[in-house]
Amino acid sequence: MAVFTMGATIKLAPNKTDDIACESCDDPSVIKRTIHSNENAYMNNNSVKYRNQLKKWGTRSGVMHVALPETKKPICDTTRDSRFYATDEGVMEISDCSSLSRKRNLIKDQKQKEAFKNYQKYLYKEFDVMQVVVKNHTPEIRDVCLWGGNSDKPITDPLFIENDESIDVLVGTHPQQVVLNPANNLLYVANQLSDSVSVVERNGNVVATIPLTENTMPGTVSPVALAVNTNQGYFYGMVYVIGSVSNKMYHLGLNHKVVDINGTGKRPTEIRFDNATNELVIKNVVSKSTTRINAQTQTQTVTPWGIPNQFRRVDEPDVTPDFAKVFTRKNLLTIFNSSKSPTVTINDEYHEEREDFKFSPGMLKHLKIVASGERRVNALQLLQKSIAWKEICKTLSLGNYQSPQSFQNVSEVFGVDGSMLDGQNSWCFKIGGLQTITFILYYKKMEMYNLLPEKASLAYGVQMSKGIPKRVPKNPFKSIL
């Protein structure tokens, strides 16, 4: 005869009292225990009765050894009897114990579970259900306040935090200048010793590399400076780059190609776009002259440096962005991005309901709190406003509330029965770092005719009688026996 238990098979010997050896004594899930000698015969002669007793008195694991009728004892000794009837996990419900307290506990547990199921059905049938999901996006514990729309109290403080990050992008050799094109919000970098221009997004992605010459010998163009056409029109967003060796100005279109070329003076080193005259103004070091090229007609004029104020970069705003800079020796473009990110977020439906409760209050019946991770919501503060606008704080300790299903982080909160959801009352609690907490609310909206006396309701033509109210199920956590 073999009895199958969780994790191993135990063989029964015909001796009066034997130690049962497991097939694998290294298995920690198998315990060594003594089995009553008459159990073998009892199981064979009373197989139907044994199965019924197993079903009725079995442990939560569904495995046990049913005691014989002749072994019943008036007093239950779990320490001694567990050696006979315990499961491999050391958990048991002793069927041969005649004590009524153990049977009462089993019946009480079953009835409480049934009562809780009926209570849940009642909540879903008779009340509206709303779900509020709160997420903490930071690793710190934060104080959160819900509802209380009239108080203008923030969800948490601060609601947003600044995030600073830098991105290093490898561009061409010996980069000299970077400009931001407002037409496509892209960065253009002049690579002097690569004879090219790199086009980079603000997130660091290199969109294109525009070659300025087909010559394989580097340095024949030597681009050193750029300018952008910022006048609205056909040429808006055109980028112009000057080559200090080729003595030319290159037109770069939004298609990232060279679309036109103009000659300049000798050794051009600086270029700017004049919004007032729609001209490109170029400074030539060797020629000691200023070249002005009309962006639309391509007409060109050259003025010696003897005439003052021919090249004034200070008259125009610098097109070099303050969030990007080039590092010549490392061939890098560094982009400094700053952004705001929320510390705590709540699902969109909450904001709509919060505004609705300000004008159409609701009365709460029950609350369920489900939290991710191991950290529990230990306390919930209910901040209520009195008629004199005095704030009254009621703290609910959620450590006393557990889920009947024994879930690790679920609290069934009955202490909120009768609390108001309106613009005056608030809920405050602490949420753990990177935690998500879900509130499931069972409530009913307040109907105005329920607040009016009978005569007033008749004057407004409202029918008051709705029949006999249904009986509310008992609190499943209240003792039934």
What DSSP line would sit under 147-195, residue for residue?
E-GGGT--SSSSSEEEEEEEEEEE-SSSEEEEEEETTTTEEEEEETTTT
Q: Provide the pLDDT for residue 111.
A: 76
**pLDDT classification of 326: cutoffs 50, 70, 90:** very high
pLDDT at 37: 44
Query: What are the boundaries of each domain within the chain?
Result: 2-96, 119-159+343-459, 163-338
Sequence-ordered alpha helix ranges (H) in 231-305? none
Per-residue pLDDT, 431 = 96
Mean pLDDT confidence for 150-178: 91
Average pLDDT over residues 217-226: 92
Residues sharing a CB contact under 8 Å with residue 423, sequence separation 6 or more, in sequence order: 147, 148, 149, 150, 151, 357, 358, 359, 361
What is the average pLDDT across 288-297? Answer: 94
pLDDT for position 397: 85
Least confident interval from 348-357, 368-377, 395-404: 395-404
Whether a cis peptide bond, with omega within 30° of 0, leads into 158 is yes
The H-or-E segment that residue 370 falls in is strand 362-371
Inform me whether the pLDDT recorded for 1 exceeds 90. Answer: no
**In this structure, is the dihedral angle defined by the CA atoms of residues 211, 212, 217 and 222, taken in order, positive or negative?**
negative
How large is the average pLDDT for residues 18-34? 39
Q: What is the pLDDT of residues 66-104, one digit of tens each?
A: 444 444 444 455 455 444 444 443 444 444 444 455 555
**Mean pLDDT value of segment 221-247:** 95
Average pLDDT of 207-218?
Answer: 90
Lowest mean pLDDT among 52-61, 346-355, 423-432: 52-61
pLDDT tens profile 390-444:
788 889 888 767 666 656 688 888 889 989 898 888 999 999 999 999 999 999 9
Q: What is the pLDDT of residue 47?
A: 67
DSSP 357: H
- Mean pLDDT over residues 454-475, rounded? 47
pLDDT, the chain, mean: 77
CATH architecture of 163-338: 7 Propeller (2.130)
More confident residue, 265 or 99: 265
User: Hey, what amino acid is at 264?
Assistant: T
Residue 440 parent element (H or E): strand 436-445
Tell me if domain 119-159+343-459 and domain 163-338 are identical in fold: no
**Per CATH, is 119-159+343-459 categorized as 1.20.1280?**
no
pLDDT 10s digits, 109-142? 677 778 888 888 999 899 999 999 999 999 999 9
- Find the DSSP H helices in 235-389: 348-359
pLDDT at 27 over 60: no
C-alpha pair distances (Å), 34 with each of 19, 30, 87, 242, 347: 5, 13, 12, 96, 59
Most confident of 65-79, 166-180, 211-225, 300-314: 166-180
Q: Choose between 111 and 324: higher pLDDT.
A: 324
What is the pLDDT at residue 77? 53
Q: Is the pLDDT of residue 341 over 60?
A: yes
